[in-house]
Amino acid sequence: MACVEVAVFSPLPGSFTYSWPEELGEACAGIRVRVPFGKGFRNGVVLRLLRSAPEGVELKTISDRLDVQPLYDAARMQWLDRVRRYYLATHGEVWQLALAWAAHDDHRRFRCPDIGAFEKAYPLLAGLFINKRALSLKKMAAGLVTAPLVHAVHSACHAGLLNEVIQKPLLEHSEGKPFELQLTEAQTIAVDHVTGAAGFTPFLLFGCTGSGKTEVYLRAAAEMIRRGGRVLVLVPEIGLTPMWIARLQARFARVAVWHSAMTERERLAVRQHLDHTDILIGTRSALFLPLPHLSMIVVDEEHDGSFKQLDGIAYSARDMAVLLAQQLNIPIVLGSATPSLESWRQAEAGHYQRIDLASRIAVHALQVKPKIIDMRQVDGPVSPQLQHALQQTLEAGDQSILFLNRRGYAPALQCCACGDVPQCPACSMSLTLHRKAAQLRCHSCGFSRRVPLCCEACGEPALMPMGDGTEKLDEWLTEHLPALRFARFDRDMVTSHTRLSEILAAFERRELDCLLGTQMLVKGHDFPHVTLVGVINADQGMSLPDFRAGERWWQQMTQVTGRAGRGDKPGHMLIQTRMPDAPWLSRIGESEAEATMHEELELRRMLNYPPFARWVRVLFSAAHADRAVQAAEAFASRCHDLSDVMISGPMPCPLERVAGRYRFEVLLRDVSRQLLPWKLAALLDTLPVPSGVRRRVDVDPQDM
């Protein structure tokens, strides 16, 4: 009897063996199946075929086959297994994540051209099509209790007795125009490098905003497609996709887009046309779409934190894209004006090939020199200087952008009088305010202390949690600049893609004078009429407890400077801060990039922080604090078996209680980068998670 090993979509570790019934046709790896599991049924993926059944075990039988053809080829299956091992996930978890794109089968619709012939061949399914000529799988399943349904539908399709209804492609096929611009010398060299790569080669394309990186991706992509390949472009935010789609459609005939805000029917359309897609642009989950003949990957704005998933498997789409490129033996281009230190380090070590696009192409788009505004004596969110500048910009008929960095949930404390932010004595991090416990804590080493009553730098009783929300600013603008037509542009808005496009279009048509937004706004958009950029509170990002706070803050501010003055008018940038002397402030700007990254990298090297060490955070949560602590302690004590790995904790998470659960974490640090995460796998497997406790592993945590 044929047997198969199945990754069942469940959080249980390991895979499961089932027998394969003949009536489902030939078994193969990489297809989804429906299996009896526990008391019910679940879906899963066939990992491999087994030669012989394990002895003495009575196997359950696969109930239905959900795919005719494998969804992934062997190379992608191997890649996915590497993803699983790296993030210490179970088979079920990783496949569920990967196949989210295929989970909308219910919406597939089928027509029956000849009901009589169909009834004869599939008496079990007879009746379904009596009056309705098109049915969805979901409706069919409702009308039929006996499995295997999906398999029957597939074979009926194969026999021509059913026809699947094909959705219209989301993006019309366009002409695909020839390139007009003459590439600069630097661009030509970059394109030649990428298209000349033999097999797996990671490139770090380093160039300031407007230096022509996108043009390089497009040219290289065109060449790859000309040779018969396909290209995947990953972008951090769906906010960037409208701009990308416009640019891609101007050049390429068969473009597809993929992001989280698409409807199920739209997803189905992408999937149905995947074989006829030359270039796929999408956010991180697009990585898992099995684009055939993939021959190049582009990760734009590679430094962006949005590539890291925060719930479920905490994977980094950028890092896994590199792994995929390696598995498929193809080039990958990581592009940024402000590369991540991870990629910068890889380039320094010679693992990535760095390509520089030195200067901006547009002559007018000179570097904007930011003006620092000291907010220590100012009441309210907007300084008189910024108010004045907004007014003037409005009167000149130009547009402005206000940037409010709201990242981070647990605010730090800051002294309103002198700007000081309490720091950990042992780490280069600021301390996080834990309101409930009235403590300041370090998230790196676990150090904690009571919240001081007065600032220790200047003695004033002026310590305040930092943060002006968008609502507050909204109110202020309505009251003080009533003539200003503005809109808020943040993550809350972007759950609707239409709304996002509307706002952007209105801004482009100049029906809005000002956009007020979070980091989403600073990425990649090209706003030719923006001459003023105001940063409401620069300190908000700078003093997060994360050791990466400085790096991120600098990346964002530098990206912000790229938004001002891209057209033919000079731009202004005003930065409001309560720490006007902070060293990062003098570093803002693309011309400072190399020196800044070099310096920060040296600091990380000295401190043995990532990217020099590999960190893994293991989080335990439970409804009762005791249970979470006990589980965390049991885990931490077992970790001592991992010699050469440094262990901190258990300590309470910055957000100690979430949705009624108490959370504690253990941080493991591996300076050698050889042990983690792999050594941890066996330990996690042998250490059962107590009931009522949830355990979550985060390899390369980004938010510390």
Min dist CB 217 to ligand ADP, Å, is: 8
Min dist CB 183 to ligand ADP, Å, is: 5
Residue 454 annotated as lining a ligand binding site:
no
213 scored as a contact of ligand ADP (CB under 6 A): yes
Applying the rule CB under 6 A, the residues between 341 and 370 that interact with ligand ADP are 361-362
Q: Residue 591 and residue 338: Cα distance in Å, rounded?
A: 10
Residue 424 annotated as lining a ligand binding site:
yes
Min dist CB 606 to Zn ion, Å, is: 15
Residue 210 or 677 having the CB closest to ligand ADP = 210
Write the secondary structure of 171-215 as one string of H (helix), E (strand) and C (coil). CCCCCCCCCCCCCCHHHHHHHHHHHCCCCCEEEEEEECCCCCHHH
213 binds, among Zn ion, ligand ADP, none (CB under 5 to 8 A by kind): ligand ADP
In this structure, how many other beta carbons lie within 10 angstroms of the beta carbon of residue 474?
A: 15
408 binds, among Zn ion, ligand ADP, none (CB under 5 to 8 A by kind): none
Residue 441 or 679 having the CB closest to Zn ion = 441
209 binds, among Zn ion, ligand ADP, none (CB under 5 to 8 A by kind): ligand ADP
Maximum CA pair distance of the chain?
89
Cα–Cα distances in angstroms (integers) from residue 591 to residues 231, 562, 597, in the given order? 31, 11, 11
Which residues have C-beta within 8 Å of that of residue 461, sequence separation ≥ 6? Answer: 453, 454, 455
Residue 210 or 611 having the CB closest to ligand ADP = 210
- CA neighbours closer than 13 Å in the CB half-sphere of residue 456: 8
Beta strands of 385-528 (E only): which ranges?
399-403, 413-415, 432-434, 439-441, 448-450, 463-465, 486-489, 514-517
Q: Residue 73 and residue 85: Cα distance in Å, rounded?
A: 19
Residue 442 annotated as lining a ligand binding site:
yes
447 binds, among ligand ADP, Zn ion, none (CB under 5 to 8 A by kind): Zn ion
Residue 356 or 633 having the CB closest to ligand ADP = 356
656 binds, among Zn ion, ligand ADP, none (CB under 5 to 8 A by kind): none
Residue 184 or 391 having the CB closest to ligand ADP = 184
DSSP state of 684: H
Specify the DSSP element, H or E, that contains 697.
strand 693-699
Applying the rule CB under 6 A, the residues between 170 and 209 that interact with ligand ADP are 181-184, 187, 207, 209
Specify the DSSP element, H or E, that contains 95.
helix 91-98
Helix 74-86 to helix 317-328 angle (10° resolution) is 140
Select from 211, 367, 444, 540 the one that contacts ligand ADP (CB under 6 A).
Answer: 211
426 binds, among Zn ion, ligand ADP, none (CB under 5 to 8 A by kind): Zn ion
Which residues have C-beta within 8 Å of that of residue 663, sequence separation ≥ 6? Answer: 619, 620, 621, 628, 652, 653, 655, 656, 657
207 binds, among ligand ADP, Zn ion, none (CB under 5 to 8 A by kind): ligand ADP
Torsion sign, CA atoms 233, 234, 235, 241? positive
373 binds, among Zn ion, ligand ADP, none (CB under 5 to 8 A by kind): none
Residue 217 or 664 having the CB closest to ligand ADP = 217
| Site residue total, ligand ADP (CB under 6 A) | 15
In this structure, how many other beta carbons lie within 10 angstroms of the beta carbon of residue 607?
A: 14
Specify the DSSP element, H or E, that contains 662.
strand 661-670
Q: Residue 276 and residue 272: Cα distance in Å, rounded?
A: 9
Residue 653 annotated as lining a ligand binding site:
no
- CA neighbours closer than 13 Å in the CB half-sphere of residue 255: 25
689 scored as a contact of ligand ADP (CB under 6 A): no
444 binds, among ligand ADP, Zn ion, none (CB under 5 to 8 A by kind): Zn ion
565 scored as a contact of ligand ADP (CB under 6 A): no
Specify the DSSP element, H or E, that contains 471.
helix 470-480
Residue 445 or 493 having the CB closest to Zn ion = 445
| Cis peptide preceding 690, ω within 30 of 0 | no
- For binding to Zn ion (CB under 5 A), which residues are involved? 424, 426-427, 442, 444-445, 447
Residue 130 or 181 having the CB closest to ligand ADP = 181
**Per-residue interface string for the shown chain with ligand ADP, residues 526-545, x marking contact by CB under 6 A:** --------------------
Task: Single out the segment in contact with ligand ADP by CB under 6 A; choices: 210-218, 319-327, 376-384, 610-618.
Answer: 210-218
Q: Residue 238 and residue 258: Cα distance in Å, rounded?
A: 9
Min dist CB 645 to Zn ion, Å, is: 18
Min dist CB 505 to ligand ADP, Å, is: 18
Residue 24 or 222 having the CB closest to ligand ADP = 222
- Hey, what are 388's tokens? 């004045």
Residue 455 annotated as lining a ligand binding site:
yes
Q: Residue 83 and residue 324: Cα distance in Å, rounded?
A: 9
Residue 207 or 654 having the CB closest to ligand ADP = 207
Residue 142 or 181 having the CB closest to ligand ADP = 181
Min dist CB 139 to ligand ADP, Å, is: 47
Min dist CB 525 to ligand ADP, Å, is: 10
Select from 15, 43, 214, 702 the one that contacts ligand ADP (CB under 6 A).
Answer: 214
How long is the chain?
A: 704
212 scored as a contact of ligand ADP (CB under 6 A): yes
The residue among 621, 628, 615, 625 whose CA lies nearest residue 704 is 615
- For residue 63, report the phi and psi dihedrals to the nearest 5 degrees: -90, -40
Applying the rule CB under 6 A, the residues between 580 and 639 that interact with ligand ADP are none
210 binds, among ligand ADP, Zn ion, none (CB under 5 to 8 A by kind): ligand ADP
Min dist CB 597 to ligand ADP, Å, is: 17
Q: What letter represents residue 695's amino acid?
A: R
Min dist CB 442 to Zn ion, Å, is: 3
Q: Between the CA atoms of 648, 654, 659 and 663, what dihedral angle is there, to the nearest 10 degrees?
A: 10
Select from 92, 210, 610, 652 the one that contacts ligand ADP (CB under 6 A).
Answer: 210
Min dist CB 502 to ligand ADP, Å, is: 23
The residue among 658, 703, 415, 435 whose CA lies nearest residue 545 is 703
Residue set of the binding site for Zn(2+): 415, 418, 424, 427, 442, 445, 455, 458
Residue set of the binding site: 415, 418, 424, 427, 442, 445, 455, 458
Binding site for ligand ADP (CB under 6 A): 181-184, 187, 207, 209-215, 361-362
